[in-house]
Structure 1
């Protein structure tokens, strides 16, 4: 029997393989502005970060304010790329079909992005009524607010919940809120999660047994 009563999944990089797509678009747009960013280094630097963090990061590199329509154009470009290229994380569908606990998703992305990508990958029916976006409360990881909001809405205390994350900022947000957090490390390029997460796992087929 699991010690947990509820599981809170991050979205990007845990449910859907969207981060390489999103950061690829961001790098291309930033480099058009003269940022001279490398994709691999950007994956490490920007993974799991809020859009505002990424925008500030680019602004410092180009040494001027960001164009006023940059976020709007970024959303348009990423949504188009998501529709062409998005895939679920390998093995996550089996996890969601067989998990015997209530679960939800808590993400730094806007809700329309979360819904689009879950719909494109066939995962939306699992989460239809249980989607929590940082944009709704204007608080972003590594602050714990989105996880606390999700737990309270689901009807559980933090100590009753497990968070599943793939980014350092997400792991730290969960810990700050008093949650246990399992770090998904398949794309943990710098092995950042091993010393931070409660436990780590490298493939989704291991998660059900860990629960």
Structure 2
């Protein structure tokens, strides 16, 4: 393996639960009432645009032209008050002896902000990528294939850590080795089983266990 790729939301920062809480509340303004767990089970890891367009089709409501900007502003305000880094992420990544990159469905400026928030600029450098760089966001494999091509690597030379089903599917479909992370606040009881069904190699619930999981995968290939 020649590259370690980290997802951002739910892996570097504990933000997926904040996005879900904000979205559940916001959707009520469109007459859509979804429980928090149902939202997490169905929509976690997808872009705001994908989620809102899908729900608008399902429930028959019209989206205003600026809906993405409105949601993004709400999310940023909520995150500013409540955001926390994933416990132990900086220490865990320091033990993984591979070049590192971040790949996210978030806007690139949000990825950069998250990396700064967890004080890991030196870990990733300019190796930060957003699905805005490709035609389709996760769960499509486009962004992962784009990153592999960018570094001149084959997918099987890359190991990825992902928390969401959407992200895990994207990396698995791209042909990469995937470690599932189930230690963020939004993770539900059946999440680990769901990740294994998608095709992740192993799942860890603590960042302290991630370096060994990556080394174990490297020993197998």
**Contact 1:183 1:201 survives alignment (8 Å):** yes
Unaligned runs of 5+ in 1: none
**Contact 2:135 2:142 survives alignment (8 Å):** no
Shift of 1:188: 4.6
Pairing of 1:59-70 with structure 2 (within 5 A): 59-60=56-57, 62-70=59-67
1:127-178: per-residue Cα shift (whole Å, max 9, x none)? Answer: 2300010012232112111111222223421111101111112111112111
Whether 2:135 is the aligned partner of 1:138: answer yes
Counterpart residue number, 1:99: 96
1:82-135: per-residue Cα shift (whole Å, max 9, x none)? Answer: 222111111111022222110101111111111222222323342230001001
Deviating 4+ runs (over 4 angstroms): none
- Aligned equivalents of 1:6, 1:96: Cα separation in 2: 12
Unaligned runs of 5+ in 2: 215-221
**Contact 2:24 2:34 survives alignment (8 Å):** yes
State the TM-score, normalized to the length of structure 2.
Answer: 0.87
What RMSD over aligned residues (CA atoms) do the two structures have, in Å?
1.7
Alpha-carbon spacing, 1:169–1:146, altered in 2? closer, same or farther (3 Å)? same
Pairing of 1:35-50 with structure 2 (within 5 A): 35-50=32-47
Pairing of 1:141-160 with structure 2 (within 5 A): 141-160=138-157
State the TM-score, normalized to the length of structure 1.
Answer: 0.91
More helix by share: 2
Alpha-carbon spacing, 1:105–1:188, altered in 2? closer, same or farther (3 Å)? farther
- Aligned equivalents of 2:18, 2:125: Cα separation in 1: 23
- Aligned equivalents of 1:100, 1:140: Cα separation in 2: 28
Counterpart residue number, 2:164: 167
Counterpart residue number, 1:205: 208
